[in-house]
């Protein structure tokens, strides 16, 4: 079953459905654990909590982990940028899913959004392309897609 169908079946909001689709295209889904480009043990759709090396995760387990992680990201976005326009939220949730709520809440991106500079906030996404001190082409593509989604919401 396609990821959007799986998320819809899990009863997620429209924001999480859009954010999940955006995140999924860059995270992919791996039913066994792997080390990401900076060595973090990861499984399913970018999940890094309670990952066991050598364990095979079912599609249902991966969907559940993905939904849980998206909800955590959405809570951070809501808490740290409560007045951000609804249309920006899928891009912000996808970004926060990737970098974590702490990094998002402390970011210039969140500060600009809270100051009402939504265009400037969206453009901050282009800066978050480093992992382990190196620019990663996959992160560049992801941030371009997130920035495009964020900026298009402001038109």
Torsion, Cα 16 18 20 23, to 10 degrees, reads -130
Separation between Cα atoms, residue 153 and residue 31, nearest integer Å: 33
36 is catalytic: yes
- Residue 115: both structure tokens together: 């100051």
Find the catalytic residue in 29, 36, 61, 117: 36
Q: Quick one: which H or E segment has residue 130?
A: strand 130-131
Angle between helices 89-99 and 59-80 (to 10 degrees): 110
27 is catalytic: yes
Radius of gyration of the chain (CA): 15
Of how many residues is the chain composed? 155
Active site residues: 27, 36
């Amino acid at each position: 079953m396609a990821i959007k169908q799986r998320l819809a079946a899990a009863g997620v909001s429209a924001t999480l459905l859009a954010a999940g689709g955006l995140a999924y295209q860059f995270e992919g889904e791996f039913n066994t654990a792997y080390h990401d480009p900076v060595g973090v043990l990861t499984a399913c759709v970018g999940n890094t909590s309670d990952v066991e090396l050598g364990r095979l995760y079912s599609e249902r387990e991966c969907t559940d982990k993905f939904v849980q992680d998206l909800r955590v990201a959405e809570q951070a976005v809501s808490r740290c940028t409560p007045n951000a326009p609804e249309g920006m939220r899928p891009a912000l949730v996808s970004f926060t899913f990737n970098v974590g709520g702490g990094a998002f809440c402390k970011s210039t991106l969140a500060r600009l959004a809270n100051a009402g500079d939504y265009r400037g906030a969206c453009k901050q996404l282009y800066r978050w392309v480093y992992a382990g001190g190196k620019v990663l082409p996959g992160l560049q593509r992801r941030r371009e897609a997130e920035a495009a989604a964020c900026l298009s919401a402001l038109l």
